[in-house]
Amino acid sequence: MKQIKIDTLFTSIHLSELSEQEQILIKACKEASINAYAPYSNFHVGASLLIEDGEIILGNNQENAAFPSGLCAERVALFHFGSRNSNKSIKAIAICAQNSNGKFTDDFIVPCGGCLQVMSEFQMKQKEKIKVLLYRADEEVMLGVGIENFLPLQFILKK
């Protein structure tokens, strides 16, 4: 038997220590969460993508009574970006969530496995790491550069 150790790297940083562009990305993420359609979970997730030209694309979770038919905030934003068939790259994605009382969560909200796999696919396609910023109520941000920090064993389909 052989054990294999996989390391990941994150930085915990206060919102005020981020670049101005990253702070704007977090603000956009927070605003996106307000428009989430979450009548079943009351868990309003927002995501915002920073594109290489400075454009910000928003996404939020969209629930449905037939639960598998809903979609996470991250994939809403990523698929919107992908549908435009752009040759531009994604520089960063910010993610946050608030409860039904409009209070942001005390914990970092980490993307689900499906969203991480989609993020991984975009990162592989553009051959450039994506920065992930996770926001929580105390204005701390968990920062990871590269999806492999969140999903170290990514599914890759070899042709």
Catalytically active residues, by annotation: 74
Structure token pair of residue 117: 């796999």
Structure token pair of residue 94: 């910010």
Residue 143 CA to residue 134 CA, distance in Å, equals 7
Give me the helix-helix angle, 73-83 and 113-126, nearest 10°. 30
Q: Give the number of other Cβ atoms within 10 Å of residue 103's Cβ.
A: 9
Sheet of 90-98, strand order: 11-14, 140-145, 131-135, 90-98, 44-51, 56-60
Structure token pair of residue 70: 């809903």
